[in-house]
Homo-oligomer: A and B are copies of this chain.
Amino acid sequence: MTMLAPEQTTRPSRRPFLAATKQFAAGTSTPQDFLEACLVEFANRENDVDAFVTFDLDAARAAADASTARWRTGKPASPIDGMPMGIKDIIETADMPTEMGSPLFVGWRSEKDAACVSALRQAGAVILGKTVTTEFAATEPRGTRNPFNLEHTPGGSSSGSAAAVGCGMVSAALGTQVIGSVIRPASYCGAYGYKPSVNALNREGCHDYQSQSCTGIIAATLEDTWQVASEIVTRVGGDAGTPGLVGPDTCPAPAKPKRLAFLETAGWANAELAAQKLLQDVVSALNRAGIDIATRHDDAKIAAVEADIVDAHPLSNKINGFEGRWFLRGARERDVSKLSKVMQTRLGESETMTLADYRAALNERARIRALYGALAGTFDGCITLAASGSAPNGLASTGNPAFAVPSSLLGVPALTLPLFEIDGMPLGLQVVGFFNDDARAFAISGWLRDQLGGA
């Protein structure tokens, strides 16, 4: 494999998969062709973008060959048979190490596929490699650059997944989110991002130990996104003991919402003016289209939710801190010098918590979830920004997650749609739905995309 010199002359673009499979079925193209196009982008850009920790081009090509043979016989394993994908390196793979963005796990092997990876392989997905995650899917960046501007962060913690999808090295990638780790990087990298209802996709083999964590999907289109989720849940379900993602086998058709709630969250006050303007223009356009959009300023129920989710981040940190501290203690004992300073600080904070503190935080979360759930009777869904602006300059921080945290705390589905742009850098419109009604959030998102001229 010769790594070509970077020759980025065109704007990065996503690489939709489902649309291409019509050609596979017709015999006018193959998964091999599709993969090779991805690999050209990979060859041109990976040296700069640094989206992958580990990759195996030979294995990917072999998988694409097998997929091509299945399409030729008219028996693809699934609608995503042949889809080039990346797997966030916090998720286990049998054939590659799982390093979790930590020097403590360099070369470490689980010797098994995570449940979601097992499902994807069964469905015929072509796994190109493991994508860069921040340290333990948290805060400390690991060097990935934004394909739209290499000086800017791709966001985190699913940094590599978002960057790889944003510039079409793969059609889709798995991420995880417990604070803002899918929605924010997808927004920054111009991709669709989907954080499902909590428990909707089986998390076994993902090394994030928090109760509000989700395996999420970053993909080229809304339809690709849903299909990946659907193929996972069909084969391995949601988290054990739960029904898993509920919905049709293919992406729900676009459906016009009647009433939407506009959520400010803790992010609005500090959002870039240009970003605020973009969302306000959307609200105006939707009003003109006959959609009723309520806000905290004219609806008491929304105001009550806003008053609580403004603290979504500190409350999430408490819960996540208690749930993850056993793991971080072990990491500290092994070699504290290999744990970032920010992680050491976070561990120190969680050490002060008692079981009673944790239970109180869970009760508080349950209370806020119930309050938010009551909106479902009145509204079809919520809209807000996916981030406070486009990806900030610099690689030392993965950006502000304020807009993404509420759906994590609430355990509800959230989508970012790559509809906005500020000075050439992408920004997402976020749709937040209701628990276990992910399908409705997709239907609304499809309509918004069509209405607002997205692809």
Contact = CB atoms under 8 A, between A and B. Distances in A.
A327 B241 contact: no
Interface stretch (A354-362, A384-392, A401-409, A420-428): A354-362
Interface in A201-216: 202, 204, 209-212
Contacts of A204: 209, 326-327
A330 interface: yes
Contact of A331 (B112, B122, B329, B331): B112
A343 to B, nearest CB: 15
A118 interface: yes
A358 B237 contact: yes
A329 to B, nearest CB: 6
B94 A241 contact: no
A111 interface: yes
Copies in the complex: 2
A244 interface: yes
A222 interface: no
B119 A326 contact: yes
A325 B115 CA distance: 9
B212 A329 contact: no
Contact of A212 (B94, B115, B241, B322): B241
A287 interface: no
Nearest to A239: B211
Interface in A328-367: 329-331, 333-334, 355, 358-359, 362
B237 A334 contact: no
Interface in A288-326: 322-323, 325-326
A236 B353 CA distance: 11
A335 to B, nearest CB: 11
Contacts of A104: 111
Nearest to A119: B326
Given A118-B329, A326-B115, A355 B244 contact: yes
Interface residues of A, number: 42
Contacts of A322: 237
A280 interface: no
Given A108-B111, A233-B355, A237-B358, A326 B118 contact: yes
Contacts of A234: 355
B355 A112 contact: no
A455 interface: no
Contacts of A108: 111
Given A326-B118, A326-B202, A355 B209 contact: no
Nearest to A320: B240
A243 B356 CA distance: 9
Nearest to A323: B240
A241 B362 contact: yes
Contacts of A112: 327, 330-331
Interface in A103-140: 104-105, 108, 111-113, 115, 118-119, 122
Closest 7 CB pairs of A and B: A211-B241, A211-B240, A118-B326, A115-B326, A240-B323, A236-B326, A112-B330
